[in-house]
Amino acid sequence: MQLTPEEQEMLEGKHGRATKKAMQILATLGTIYGAERMLPVTSVQIAGVSYDNLGEAGLQFLTEMAEGGGRARVLATLNPAGMDMENWLTLGIPADFAENQERVIDAFARMGVVTTCTCTPYLTGNVPHYGEHIAWAESSAVCYANSILGARSNREGGPSALAAALTGRTPAYGLHLDENRRPNLSVYTPAGLRGTHEFGALGMVIGWKMEGYESKPIPYIQGVEWASLEELKSLCASLATYGGAALFHMVGITPEAAQFSPPEEVMNITQAELERAVHSLNQSAAEEVDFVSLGCPHLSIQEIARIARLLEGKQVTKEFWITTARPVKQMADRAGYTQTIEASGAKFAADTCCVVAPIRGRFKVMATDSAKACYYAAGKNKFKTVFKSFDEVVLEAIS
Ligand code: F3S
Atom 7 (ligand 1): residue with closest C-alpha?
355
With 80 as the cut, is the pLDDT of residue 286 above it? no
Ligand 1: atom nearest CA of 140 is 5
What mean pLDDT do residues 193-199 have?
A: 98
pLDDT on residue 352: 98
pLDDT on residue 287: 83
23 to each of 18, 30, 246, how far by Cα in Å? 9, 10, 24
Q: Give tens-digit pLDDT for 343-398.
A: 999 999 999 999 999 999 999 999 999 999 999 988 999 999 999 999 999 999 99
Q: Give tens-digit pLDDT for 297-320.
A: 999 999 999 999 999 999 999 999
pLDDT on residue 285: 67
Ligand 1 centroid–CA 187 distance in Å is 26
Which residue type does 35 have?
A: A
Ligand 1 centroid–CA 138 distance in Å is 8
What mean pLDDT do residues 230-252 have?
A: 98
What mean pLDDT do residues 269-291 have?
A: 92
pLDDT on residue 212: 87
Q: Give tens-digit pLDDT for 58-74.
A: 999 999 999 999 999 99
pLDDT on residue 137: 98
Ligand 1 centroid–CA 12 distance in Å is 37
Residue whose CB lies within 8 A of the most ligand 1 atoms, among 294, 296, 374, for a mutation test: 296
Q: What are phi and psi of 74, to 5 degrees?
A: -135, 170
Q: Give tens-digit pLDDT for 16-41.
A: 999 999 999 999 999 999 999 999 99
Distance CA 179, CA 372 (A): 29
Ligand 1: atom nearest CA of 237 is 5
With 90 as the cut, is the pLDDT of residue 15 above it? yes
Atom 6 (ligand 1): residue with closest C-alpha?
296
Ligand 1 centroid–CA 118 distance in Å is 8
Q: Give tens-digit pLDDT for 122-150.
A: 999 999 999 999 999 999 999 999 999 99
What mean pLDDT do residues 103-109 have?
A: 98
Which protein residues are within 6 Å of ligand 1, measured from CB?
A: 79-80, 119, 140, 237, 296-298, 323, 353, 355-356, 372-373, 376
Given its phi and psi angles, is residue 125 left (phi above 0), alpha (psi -120 to 50 degrees) or beta?
left
Atom 1 (ligand 1): residue with closest C-alpha?
297
Distance CA 328, CA 303 (A): 11
What mean pLDDT do residues 81-95 have?
A: 97
- CA torsion angle 59 60 64 66 (round to 10): 20
Ligand 1 centroid–CA 367 distance in Å is 15
pTM over 0.85: yes
Residue whose CB lies within 8 A of the most ligand 1 atoms, among 46, 355, 360, for a mutation test: 355
Instruction: Reduce the secondary structure of the chain to three states and give it as a string.
Output: CECCHHHHHHHHCCCCHHHHHHHHHHHHHHHHCCCCEEEECCEEEECCCCHHHHHHHHHHHHHHHHHCCCCCCCEEEECCCCCCCCCCCCCCCCHHHHHHHHHHHHHHHHCCCCCCECCCHHHCCCCCCCCCECEECCHHHHHHHHHHHCCECCECCHHHHHHHHHHCEEECCHHHCHHHCCCCEEEECCCCCCCHHHHHHHHHHHHHHHCCCCCCCCEEEECCCCCCHHHHHHHHHHHHHHHCCCCCEECCCCCCHHHCCCCCCEEECCHHHHHHHHHHHCCCCCCCCCEEEECCCCCCHHHHHHHHHHHCCCCCCCEEEEEECHHHHHHHHHHCHHHHHHHCCCEEEECCCCCCCCCCCCCCEEEECCHHHHHHHHHCCCCEEEECCHHHHHHHHHC
Ligand 1 centroid–CA 395 distance in Å is 22
Atom 3 (ligand 1): residue with closest C-alpha?
296
| Residue 283 pLDDT class (50, 70, 90 cuts) | confident
